[in-house]
Amino acid sequence: MTEKPWGGRFSEATDKQVEAFSASIDVDARLYRWDIEGSMAHCRMLARQGIIQKKEADAIVAGLAAIQKEIDAGTFVFDPALEDVHMNIEQALFDRIGPAARKLHTARSRNDQVALDVRLFLRDRTLSVVAGLVALRQRIADFAGAHIDVIMPGYTHLQRAQPVLFAHHLMAYYEMFFRDTQRFAEGLKRINVLPLGSAALAGTPYPIDRAYTAELLGFDAVSANSMDAVSDRDFAIEFTASAAICMMHFSRLAEELVLWSSSEFGFVELSDAVSTGSSIMPQKKNPDVPELVRGKTGRVFGDLMGLLTLMKSLPLCYNRDMQEDKHLLFDAADTLSACLPVCTALFDNMKVNNEAMAQAAARGYLNATDMADYLVGKGVAFRDAHACVGKAVAAAIAKGRELHELTLKELKTFSAAVEADLFDVLAPEKVIERRQAFGGTAKKTVRAAIAAARRQIKKE
Ligand code: ARG
């Protein structure tokens, strides 16, 4: 029987089934790097404060470093009877260095230790997600810049609405991922707070120096209430919420790529590298990668809901329920981290069919609003102009023609204000060119947006 670190007050061994049931090592072993980093800092602080001897601290730090190497190398064997990563490492330390190992846990509890580990994990993960989002935004801005002349239909209700630049449509995603970047960076402020020193819940009577531990670990702040510090998983929920929002953006992009790569749209072609075939239909080339991104989004939403439900109504302070946070948090983090580079790579694997986009933008009366605006310019009230153009569209549909394919004579029957210069207004490029107000789709406005994005990226 493995002796439990908490075995003192127990006279019976843990039920085998309970042991297996309560072990979390399968999930939390991956926290070892941060667990060791946290333990080293804690140990140095203890020695500096004279709570343990310098000699003991040196032995502990060296032992932990050796254990880290062993785990890195894959030769370390985790024992489920030791429940979790914290106790596995502590036991391994004892096996290596003997009694000094028993002093590491002075002024500490697994409750503040696990909170610390998860915070350290999330700090690293947030930084890599932010870097990934910056790279994605760079890719989008470059792709938009390279396709600045491509015109496509803009949609509302998935019905053709007004012509836009493809680059403008892409830069809408840039904005979403910019907000995601900000959200993750903002969350970092609340992740980067040291919980260690809260001990089990009430703080510790030892003369610890939390500010020093925080400094060693690169934390910006120290938690202000020990009971909150060991109960709090807001930072993990916030990260998962940011991940869920970001995945929602990925899923919208993915959905558009699925639509656009269908024969019905034919706007883009995804390369073979990101597509798969069918085992029965020889002609098929399926957009599996964006479909999987779309599908995985649901998992991350589930993780967020799971975390909120897990924490709902838990009394202060630590409850064992909280051990279940890691499945959900890791799944959300890993899914996001898997989707991020894949979504970025999609832009390297996409051929844009300029012709199909332009043709779609030229058919479907996408210039009707501009004809109404033209009439307003000639002194017609907007509501009347709207009605006139509505009638013109109905007539054009009946004739199977576009507005600009009607003759001046035909057009004049809907409003006497129509003159030959109307035809200069109706071309899709002209419709786009007029939308120069900040945030609009005119080429020069979109060019400025791309330039601003590039400047923004340089600052990050
Ligand atoms: N494995 C535990 C978790 O992940 C660590 C904290 C355990 N604390 C305790 N008092 N049992 O939450």
**How far, in Å, is the centroid of ligand 1 from the Cα of 63?**
23
Cα torsion for 26, 307, 105, 55, to the nearest 10°?
80
Q: Please, is 426 exposed, middle or buried when counting C-beta atoms within 10 Å of its C-beta (0-12, 13-18, 19+)?
A: buried
Q: How many residues does the chain have?
A: 460
- Distance from C-alpha of 123 to C-alpha of 218, rounded to nearest angstrom: 10
**How far, in Å, is the centroid of ligand 1 from the Cα of 62?**
25
Cβ(104)–Cβ(113) below 8 Å:
no
Evaluate if residue 430 carries a pLDDT over 60: yes
**How far, in Å, is the centroid of ligand 1 from the Cα of 417?**
77
Could you tell me whether strands 350-352 and 268-270 are parallel, antiparallel, or unpaired per DSSP bridges?
antiparallel
Structure ipTM over 0.95, yes or no: yes
Q: How confident is the model at residue 188 (pLDDT cuts 50, 70, 90)?
A: very high
Cα torsion for 262, 427, 383, 440, to the nearest 10°?
70
Q: Residue 6: its pLDDT value, please?
A: 78
- Picking from 402, 352, 361, 428, the residue whose alpha carbon sits closest to that of residue 153 is 361
**How far, in Å, is the centroid of ligand 1 from the Cα of 319?**
8
Ligand 1 atom nearest the C-alpha of 24 is: 1
**How far, in Å, is the centroid of ligand 1 from the Cα of 111?**
6
Q: Contacts for 450-458 with beta carbons within 8 Å, 24 or more apart?
A: 450/141, 450/144, 450/145, 450/148, 450/167, 450/171, 453/137, 453/141, 453/171, 453/174, 453/178, 454/138, 454/141, 456/178, 457/134, 457/137, 457/138, 457/141
> Of these residues, 157, 263, 279, 313, which one is catalytic?
157
Q: With a 6 A CB cut-off, is 459 part of the ligand 1 pocket?
A: no
Q: Residue 14: its pLDDT value, please?
A: 85
Q: Residue 284: its pLDDT value, please?
A: 85
Beta bridge partners, 194, equal 222
> Is 278 one of the annotated active-site residues of the chain?
yes
Beta bridge partners, 160, equal 155
Q: With a 6 A CB cut-off, is 193 part of the ligand 1 pocket?
A: no
DSSP letter assigned to residue 2: P
What are the pLDDT digits (tens) for 311-359?
Answer: 999 999 999 999 999 999 999 999 999 999 999 999 999 999 999 999 9
Could you tell me whether strands 221-222 and 193-194 are parallel, antiparallel, or unpaired per DSSP bridges?
parallel
- Token pair, residue 33, equals 């790097």
Q: With a 6 A CB cut-off, is 84 part of the ligand 1 pocket?
A: yes
The full set of domain ranges for the chain reads 7-106, 111-198+220-359, 361-459
Q: Residue 172: its pLDDT value, please?
A: 98
CATH of 111-198+220-359, one of 3.30.70.1380, 1.10.3470.10, 1.20.200.10, 1.10.357.10: 1.20.200.10
Instruction: Encode burial over 33-68: b for 16+ CB neighbours within 10 A, e otherwise.
Output: bbbbbbbbbbbbbbbbeebbeeebbebbbebbeebb
- Distance from C-alpha of 425 to C-alpha of 283, rounded to nearest angstrom: 43
CATH topology of domain 7-106: Fumarase C; Chain B, domain 1 (1.10.275)
Q: Residue 2: its pLDDT value, please?
A: 64
Cβ(331)–Cβ(296) below 8 Å:
no
- Picking from 440, 427, 430, 411, the residue whose alpha carbon sits closest to that of residue 363 is 427
Cβ(202)–Cβ(227) below 8 Å:
yes
Ligand 1 atom nearest the C-alpha of 200 is: 10
> Does 285 or 289 have the greater pLDDT score?
289
Cβ(161)–Cβ(155) below 8 Å:
yes
Ligand 1 atom nearest the C-alpha of 326 is: 4
> Is 386 one of the annotated active-site residues of the chain?
no
Cβ(60)–Cβ(100) below 8 Å:
yes
Q: Residue 285: its pLDDT value, please?
A: 87
- Token pair, residue 154, equals 């803009």
Evaluate if residue 365 carries a pLDDT over 60: yes
Give the closest residue (by CA) to ligand 1 atom 2.
323
Ligand 1: residue of 14, 111, 198, 330 to mutate (most ligand atoms within 8 A of CB) is 111
Q: With a 6 A CB cut-off, is 114 part of the ligand 1 pocket?
A: yes
CATH topology of domain 361-459: Ribonucleotide Reductase Protein R1; domain 1 (1.10.40)
Q: With a 6 A CB cut-off, is 226 part of the ligand 1 pocket?
A: no
Strand, helix or coil at 250? helix
Model confidence, pTM: 0.96
Average pLDDT taken over every residue of the chain: 96
Q: With a 6 A CB cut-off, is 113 part of the ligand 1 pocket?
A: no
Packing angle of the helix pair 110-146, 85-97 (nearest 10 deg)? 120
Evaluate if residue 1 carries a pLDDT over 70: no
Q: With a 6 A CB cut-off, is 44 part of the ligand 1 pocket?
A: no
- Distance from C-alpha of 105 to C-alpha of 460, rounded to nearest angstrom: 40
DSSP letter assigned to residue 220: S
